[in-house]
Amino acid sequence: MQNIDTKQAEELLRKYYKKCYDNVAGSDFYRLFADEKLQHSFQVIGAGNYIMRHEKVFQTDRPDFLWSAKLAYLFHDIGRFKEIECKCKEEPSPQKHNHAMYSYEILKAIPEYDKAEILLPIKYHSCMIEKLYEGDDFKSLKDKQTQEDVKHISFLVRDADKIANYYLMKTSEAKSDKVFNDLFLARCRFGGVSDAILRDFLAQKVTNNADIRTGEDWMLSYLSWTFDLNYKASFDFCTKTGCFKNLLEIFNKYTSDKGLQKQVEATLYDYINNRYQQFKGE
């Protein structure tokens, strides 16, 4: 993989973080939230670099494609800082915000980054991949190579985002734990897995956030991200670093149904093993 200088882009990311951090000065929680999102962004950069080093599609001498790929995962969450500022202002009843759209809008306004290969993977990274394929902005791309590039970079951003989150959950320090506890545990109830969430998970499908009702649902939803990983390098990373094992241990911590725990483990590992068999055939 070619060495691509992203210092200027990283400075822009830090600029949005610093503005957010200053604007939420009255809230220790939202400052920690901003810290976590900056940390996550740089972990996604590391995860994206790992995937690009190990996947054949990125072993190319097309500098524009590689530059767009790196910028897409570097900037994927730049809109998080606007979201954090908005939520802080809206307390005690913060609203839902589309941070991916915020990221898209920020970058579209900068001519250097106003490219489909950067913008579309970012715009659709936090929703089901079908939304990208159904979008008029993707369908309107006339050049087949551009469409293929957008698809590969979208897979890259989505995978890097997920495995970085998995790794953060495995290695999180006290600050990140506090964000997780405050944001997640304090705002949901525990009472078993909902039928719709379990049905989708056992069918090896990414669960629908609209079906989430309990804390166990959230944890199973995180596990279901595995079903949306695209590259062998992503599975390798999670296997080597123990991320899959850690996620199952977290779910086990919050569920009292040990029969369900075994069923979840079998479903997850069955999927992982089948994907490795598919990668061998490619």
Q: Are residues 11 and 125 in the same domain?
A: yes
> Angle at the Cα of 123 (from 69 to 150), degrees rounded to 5?
40
User: Residue 168: pLDDT above 90?
Assistant: no
Q: How far apart are CA 165 and CA 15, in angstroms?
A: 22
Query: Which of 250, 197, 246 shows the shortest CA–CA distance to 224?
Result: 197
Say whether both 92 and 19 belong to one domain: yes
213 and 151 within one domain: no
Are residues 147 and 233 both part of a single domain? Answer: no
Distance (Å, whole) CA 175 – CA 33: 9
Residue ending a domain, choose from 129, 163, 197: 163
Same domain as 223, residue 147: no
Please indicate, yes or no, if residue 143 is contained in any of the structural domains: yes
186 pLDDT band, cuts 50/70/90, is: low
Q: Does pLDDT of 184 surpass 80? A: no
Q: Percent of the chain having pLDDT more than 70?
A: 93
Task: Mark whether 21 and 117 lie in a shared domain.
Answer: yes
With beta carbons less than 8 A apart as the criterion, state whether 238 and 196 touch: no
Please report, in angstroms and rounded to a whole number, the separation of the first and last CA atoms in the chain.
21
Q: How deeply is 272 buried, as exposed, middle or buried, from its count of CB atoms within 10 A (0-12, 13-18, 19+)?
A: middle
Q: Looking at the structure, do residues 75 and 195 belong to the same domain, yes or no?
A: no
Position 180 scores a pLDDT of 53
User: How confident is the model over 155-164, as pLDDT tens digits?
Assistant: 999 999 999 9
Distance CA 29, CA 49 (A): 30
pLDDT, tens digit, 9 for 90 and up, residues 110-162: 999 999 999 999 999 999 999 999 999 999 998 999 999 999 999 999 999 99
Same domain, 192 and 158: no
Residues 9-31: tens digit of each pLDDT? 999 999 999 999 999 999 998 99
Are the beta carbons of 124 and 101 closer than 8 angstroms?
no
Number of domains in the chain: 2
Asked whether the whole model's pTM tops 0.75, one would answer: yes
| pLDDT grade for 187, boundaries at 50, 70 and 90 | low
Residue 89, in any domain of the structure: yes
Residues 23 and 86 in one domain: yes
Backbone dihedral region of 216: left (phi > 0), alpha (psi from -120 to 50 degrees) or beta? alpha
Q: Tell me which residue range forms the domain holding 206.
A: 188-281
Could you tell me if 74 and 199 lie in one domain? no
Token pair, residue 258, equals 């040990």
% of residues, the chain, pLDDT over 90: 77
Burial class (CB in 10 A: 0-12, 13-18, 19+), 174: exposed
243 and 151 fall within a common domain: no
Query: Once rounded to an integer, what is the mean pLDDT over residues 268-275?
Result: 98
219 and 276 inside one domain: yes
